Amino acid sequence: MSPINVKYEGKTMYAERLMLETDQSGNLKHVPKLPPNKQLEIIFLVLDDARGGQSLRRSPHPDIAGKARILGDIISSVPKTDWDLPK
C-alpha cells in the first residue's frame, strides 16, 4: 500500500496504515519498525472481533511444543469437584 501525502500547517505528512494485534493483556504482539528521528501522531481504531465469535486457537510456545508427554490418566487424578464444571 502506498503512503498518502497530506499538507498540514505548512508541513508535508504522509499516512501509512499498520495493522497491529495485542495479546490478552493488551500488549503488542509484534512491535513495528518505525522511522528513526521522527515525531508520530497515532490514532488507534479498534476493530470489532473479526473472528465472528469463534474462540482464539491457542498453541504452546515453540520452545516447548511437542516435548510434553502424558504418562497417566490426567482426568481422574483430580476430584470432579475441582474441575468446576457446569451442572
Dihedral (CA of 9, 31, 22, 3) sign: positive
Decide if pLDDT at 51 tops 70.
no
Contact predicate 12/5, CB 8 Å: yes
pLDDT digits (tens, 9 = 90+) for 60-86: 888 988 888 888 887 777 887 877 777
Q: What is the dihedral of CA 2, 6, 12, 13, to 10 degrees?
A: -60
Average pLDDT for residues 5-19, to the nearest whole number?
Answer: 77
Tell whether pTM > 0.85. Answer: no
Average pLDDT for residues 49-56, to the nearest whole number?
Answer: 59
The ranges assigned to domains in the chain are: 1-46
